[in-house]
Structure 1
Amino acid sequence: MTPPLSTPGPTLGVVGGGQLGRMLGEAAGPLGIELIVLDPTPECPASPVVRDQIVGEFDDEEAVRELADRSDYLTFEIELADPDLLERLETAADVPVHPSPDTLRTIQDKLVQKDTLTEAGIPVPEYRPVDDAAELRAALDEFGTPAMVKAREGGYDGRGNVPIESPDDAESVLDSIAGPAMVEKFVDFERELSVIGVKGDEEVATFTTGENVHREEILRETIVPARASEDVLERARSVARDVLGLMDGRGVYGIELFETEEGEILVNEIAPRPHNSGHWTIEGAVTSQFEQHVRAVTGRPLGSTEQRDPTVMTNILGDVDETQPAELHGLDEILSTPRAALHWYGKRDVRPLRKMGHLTLTDSGVDPDEPAGSPDQLLARARDLRDAVTFTEG
């Protein structure tokens, strides 16, 4: 049973205070839940909307211990959290950690993640661990090129993923990864999909399947619902629920998928936290992924995952050549467009292709005098709005 509300309310400690921490803070306030975040960057993006920030590295034992001592619940918004430390503190400080540290440990190593999925019979692209250039070349003889070489640890949101076009590039690609690696066979996919799933106490739910557009390994847009057949969408939901069945601990999980040309679904990667491809849920769903995560990790009932309207989310990325103070120009068109919503992450500096914010556009935002447009119209209009803003005007 959910305890009664009081002031101050319960405190949720979050390892990580980037844009995900910021949006978790925005979602927690109306529920009467206060956030404290731990992040190495002073005045991190989450800091204006949470009760307090502890400045420290994600694996700083003293800092994480302070976070646990000041919190009723613990979670994380970045995979760089230390699962061993969280596991120790869960016992020592008697504070529940969700998702479980063991789930984080499994997902942090992409090879272990893929092995876990394979052992459970969940379909994934063909893959091999590679310890040196000779092993990589041998795998490429089997898989062909292009292929994708991935850092097993430390990579998330496209970081640590390096496409390889020729066996001659094996040494240089592995040098760029500089650590344990794996290689995946190239999937000639029809589209990239994602399902945001959430686990509560005896509850499992999924949001509407989204379609993702990546370029240079960075998510550019998410279109919801995905432009795929109902059979494919149902298969994606089914695979996502199978994945959720493997995960231990409450919370939101971002499940990235490939739809093959034959209509099959393969799991690409899993994030044990709110995910960029779920940002559309703030305006486009009854309950956002951020509110769902706060509800889940604090043991509260889940909200509805029903989609309100067709929605497109597009990231606002740094369009600069070098790091400079962040100053976004050209906001009038976004702010004057019905059913367009701007989300600014509060980062002080902009770097090339850095995620600085996002915008969403929901159905009749295409034209307030017309009924809802097609997904393609909605996507085109969202791109126009995104392209109207820039960090380079001077």
Structure 2
Amino acid sequence: MTVTVPGPTLGVVGGGQLGRMLAEAAAPLGVEVIVLDPTPDCPAAPVARDQVVGDFDDPEAFRELAARVDALTFEIELADAELLDSVAGEFGLSVNPAPETLETIEDKLVQKRELEQAGVPVPPFRRVDDADDLREALAEFGEVMLKARTGGYDGRGNVPVTDPADAEDAMEAVGGPAMAETFVDFARELSVIAVQGDDEVRTFPAGENVHEEEILRETILPARTDDEVLDRADEVARDVLETLDGRGVFGIELFETPDGEISVNEIAPRPHNSGHWTIEGARTSQFEQHVRAVLGWPLGSTRLRCPTVMANVLGTVDEPKPARLGNGEAVLEDENASLHWYGKDEVRPLRKMGHVTLTGGDSGDGARADPGDLLAHAREARDALRFE
């Protein structure tokens, strides 16, 4: 494909922090972004060319967006896949990743079945429609992670269950049809940000994810595991892409067991929180890669520049209030630190409000920063921030 600058206009369904960072990455390429989001003045609005205000299943809003852009993508799984497909066809636009891929991934049970049928390693799982089904899953697997089939994110919709007596409450907590997955006693969670281009696949090095209360807190590069495990993680991520249609970035979360086996936890058909480190830590960020990929442009390098840690800035408040972050100098005075603010007007308990990235280049004697030391440094910088 011929690349010209200024380039095309990209329509993005979703205007949260991912849409914001997509627009930031698109601008240097000469690509303008218009987002569709139901929240007026959404986080992406200040950096995008414009915003269409509308729900993620609003046909007229989708048509308004399609009439103003040259290609379509999405940054949230709540986008209506069928509507995306029909509107793209109506206006003669490409939409990537493919709507069929979005339909597969947005239902966790369908997602796992597709992977299993393709021979991609996944933890044992089964469909759960009611409390009796859940009790049967417990009898088969022992402890399980009950997952809502649709709508869950950041730990929401996931409930660990060990006692059959808790089955009714667990089903009520997930709020509908679910999937029970055997509880994996993993050594660590890894994630690979994989990119499907027009005729090439590129993968970023696997990151090590640290969770607390089911929410991602930090991602560490390079992951603190063996090279053989990292190679296997990359191989599995590439196998995952073989099961999915359309161009773009995919966040692939993986379990590493104590004996070094790899299985797929979940897939996101978009840039992913565990890939935010790529903005400072990789030659080309996941956001620039997504813009390039969905437009059919050549992909960039996925090389790790240096050891890097990303730490999420979460809402450390007891109740919602206007968002105002203080003590930012704790990050900005550090020459190896970068602060990213997502532009959300309201801070809520554990809501993702931004992130801090720490990079560790060569010291004077040519030594590289230790990932463990860098993690401690990133946590110190992040934890110095305060919501006022």
The amino acid that maps onto 1:389 is L
Task: Letter of the 2:79 partner, please give it.
Answer: A
Give the deviation of 1:364 after TM superposition.
4.0
Letter in 2 for 1:387: D
Counterpart residue number, 1:320 = 317
Q: Is the 8 A contact 2:316 2:350 kept in 1?
A: yes
Q: 2 CA distance for matches of 1:3 and 1:363?
A: 34
Counterpart of 1:90 (choices 88, 91, 94) is 88
Q: Match for residue 288 of structure 1?
A: 285
Residue 159 of structure 1: how far off its partner (Å): 2.3
Q: Deviations over 1:318-360 (max 9, x none)?
A: 0000000011111112101111000000101000000000010
SS at match of 1:48: coil
1:224-243 alignment, distance < 5 Å: 224-243=221-240
**SS at 2:312 equivalent:** strand
Normalized against structure 2, the TM-score is what?
A: 0.98
Paired with 1:88 and 1:259, the residues of 2 have a C-alpha distance of: 39
Helix, strand or coil at the partner of 1:27: helix
**Hey, what does 1:58 align to over in structure 2?**
56
Q: Distance in 2 between matches of 1:26 and 1:219?
A: 23
Could you say which residue in structure 1 is the equivalent of 2:11?
13
**CA 364–307 in structure 1, closer or farther in 2 if over 3 Å, else same:** closer
Query: 1:187 is paired with a residue of what secondary structure?
Result: coil
Superposed CA deviations along residues 133-186 of structure 1, whole A, max 9, x for unmatched, are 0110111011112x2100001123322111223211111111111111011101
Q: How does 1:367-382 map to 2 (within 5 A)?
A: 371-382=367-378
1:190 aligns with 187
Shift of 1:2: 2.0
Q: In structure 2, give the amino acid aligned to 1:22.
A: R
Alignment-derived partner of residue 245 in structure 2: 248
User: How many angstroms apart in 1 are the aligned matches of 2:343 and 2:351?
Assistant: 12
What secondary structure sits across from 1:189 in the alignment? coil
Once residues 107 and 4 of structure 1 are traced to their aligned partners in structure 2, the CA distance between those partners, rounded to angstroms, is: 33
SS at match of 1:219: strand
- How far residue 221 of structure 1 moved from its aligned partner, in angstroms, is 0.2
Q: Distance in 2 between matches of 1:19 and 1:235?
A: 31
In the aligned structure 2, how far is the partner of 1:43 from the partner of 1:4? 30
Between 370-379 and 115-124, report the one with greater CA deviation.
370-379
Pair 1:118 & 2:116 matched: yes
Question: What is the rounded CA distance, in whole Å, between the counterparts of 1:97 and 1:241 in structure 2?
Answer: 21
Report the counterpart of residue 276 of structure 1 in structure 2: 273
1:384 maps to 2:380: yes
- 2:40 paired residue number: 42
Contact 1:189–1:261 at 8 Å: present in 2 too? yes
1:372 positional shift? 2.8
RMSD: 1.3
Q: Deviations over 1:11-67 (max 9, x none)?
A: 100000000000000000000000000001111000000000011111111101111
Q: Which amino acid aligns with 1:362?
A: T
Gaps of at least 5 residues in structure 1 are none
2:145 is the counterpart of 1:148: yes
8 Å Cα contact 2:142/2:162 also seen in 1:
no
- Given that residues 307 and 369 in structure 2 are in contact (C-alpha distance below 8 angstroms), is that contact kept between their aligned partners in structure 1? no
Indicate if the aligned counterparts of 2:342 and 2:353 stay in contact, CA closer than 8 A.
yes
Question: How many residues were matched structurally?
Answer: 388
The worse-fitting range, judged by mean Cα deviation, of 33-42 and 369-378 is 369-378
C-alpha separation between the residues in 1 aligned to 2:133 and 2:346? 40
* Pairing partner for 2:263 from 266, 271, 285: 266
Q: Distance in 2 between matches of 1:280 and 1:208?
A: 11
Give the corresponding residue for 1:174: 171
- Contact 2:19–2:35 (8 Å) recurs in 1: yes
Tell me the percent identity.
Answer: 66
State yes or no: 1:350 paired with 2:347: yes
Question: What 5-or-longer segments of structure 2 have no aligned partner?
Answer: none
Mapped to 2, the partners of 1:132 and 1:241 lie a distance apart of 35
Looking at structure 1, the residues matched to 253 and 72 of structure 2 have their Cα atoms a distance apart, in angstroms, of 25
Deviations 1:183-206 (A, max 9, x none): 110100010000000011111000
How big is each residue's C-alpha offset from its partner over 1:78-97, in whole Å with a ceiling of 9 and x where there is no partner?
A: 00001100111121110100
Note if contact 2:280-2:357 (Cα within 8 Å) is conserved in structure 1.
yes
